[in-house]
Structure 1
């Protein structure tokens, strides 16, 4: 079985529309948005694992780089996996609403640029929408591969800069240029954006990730995370993929 076979069956237009609808609530109702995203991420990891290994993912050790406030932790724990979250920002660790969120898993305050874990020590290393927030995304990727055991999976998913969501809360103004968009946001809202271009948001392109992943010799699959299966071939079209892929998933398995 190909690693993506199971997830490809789940990648329907209905799923894409459901996640797009949930995205509207990122700011107003984060529990609703991140809860849906967490459940979908668990399904992604479970399907990729079973597709690649033919085994059940229950009992796996999953290291989530940039785990944030713990929505993913609860979802992975409920699915029977051992969750380890790495988060450099203590504010993010406590961002979830305490009345609606159950804490689960184990968290470590550390940088994804230097993961405090031994070589080949986890079954799955996941990074969801983090690479575009660090100045050296492929150093992050190399660290993920280092801590993933042979036959395990490193799953790196990131927002492509030229896609419609590349500007994050700045909206489509990022097409004017990152710094210009951030300055425009600051003038309009009286504060810098949380995802401020050049400090907490960087232009990461689809071609960058594909080139890096191919160079590792460990690439298993690459596809658009939120697209239906029939649109996955967009990843193979240079130029067009930068605007249409939106979020690129790189699946790697070290040997």
Structure 2
């Protein structure tokens, strides 16, 4: 995670609020970021395509806990009664977890096949693009995106849209897979280190079909440094509460602060911001 001094440099004084973490105070979520959690989550990745319900079930619990903790740090409240917008929410794997916490969950997904992939039915589901969200300004309490930005050609436009629809005082949580990290190529990894096209060609030769995540079409190279720079440039629109590697234990969060190293060792970057 960016250190308190880094956060103060990243965000102008006019954008910081009394609810932002005090210098030296760890986010509540840090107590969950143990090595055991990291191993459990990383181990679940092998089920992403063969048993998606098992994979996304674990990610759903972790995502809800992450957001609940940061929202409590920021406001002192739980998620009861809040509207949570999940950009790129697919069929709604996260719906039950947020409903259990009393939140109204709304998934947004551009691909109708993905919306119906698991046979789930989420009444509030919306078909729409993350880069042009069909919602008014300041519409939702929490806007999240989990492992979606790497599938979008213009991920930072999506980040801007997410911030736009978040209410003042609400949270935006933007989590994505880093291209040069070990999972950057998704099912084509680790051959993505030789280039996205080569990795896709190798997958095609081996399996006789195109990969689900096709480089240049549905998979793009997004770096950790891009996320850090976006957070630092957020200006007066929001307070950056945390930038950290999602699947790492707390004692390894410092990796985000090291250029080049973070591109290879941060598998997934999380940006948590509170809208001003």
Same fold (TM over 0.5): yes
CA contact 1:222–1:235 (8 Å) conserved in 2: yes
Where do 5+ consecutive residues of structure 2 fail to align? 1-19
The 10-residue stretch of structure 1 (2-11 or 142-151) with the greater mean CA deviation from structure 2? 2-11
Counterpart pick for 1:22 among 44, 49, 57: 44
Report the counterpart of residue 220 of structure 1 in structure 2: 241
Give 1:231-250 correspondences, 5 Å limit.
Answer: 231-250=252-271
Aligned-residue Cα RMSD (Å) equals 1.4
Report the counterpart of residue 44 of structure 1 in structure 2: 66
Give yes or no for the alignment of 1:33 onto 2:20.
Answer: no
Q: Which structure 1 residue ranges, 4+ long, deviate > 3 Å from structure 2?
A: none
Give yes or no for the alignment of 1:185 onto 2:206.
Answer: no
Distance 1:240 1:195, change over 3 A: same
Give yes or no for the alignment of 1:113 onto 2:131.
Answer: yes
2 CA distance for matches of 1:143 and 1:31? 28
CA contact 2:91–2:122 (8 Å) conserved in 1: no
The number of residue pairs the alignment matches comes to 251
Higher relative contact order (CA 8 A, sep 6+): 2
2 CA distance for matches of 1:104 and 1:116? 17
* 1:87-139: CA deviation from partner (whole Å, max 9, x where unpaired): 0001111111x4xx6x3451000000100101011000000011111110000
Secondary structure of the structure 2 residue equivalent to 1:253:
strand
Give yes or no for the alignment of 1:196 onto 2:214.
Answer: yes
The CA deviation at 1:237 is 0.6
* 1:35-69: CA deviation from partner (whole Å, max 9, x where unpaired): 11111111011011001111122111100000011
CA contact 1:186–1:192 (8 Å) conserved in 2: yes
CA contact 2:87–2:130 (8 Å) conserved in 1: yes
Where do 5+ consecutive residues of structure 1 fail to align? none
CA contact 1:185–1:193 (8 Å) conserved in 2: yes
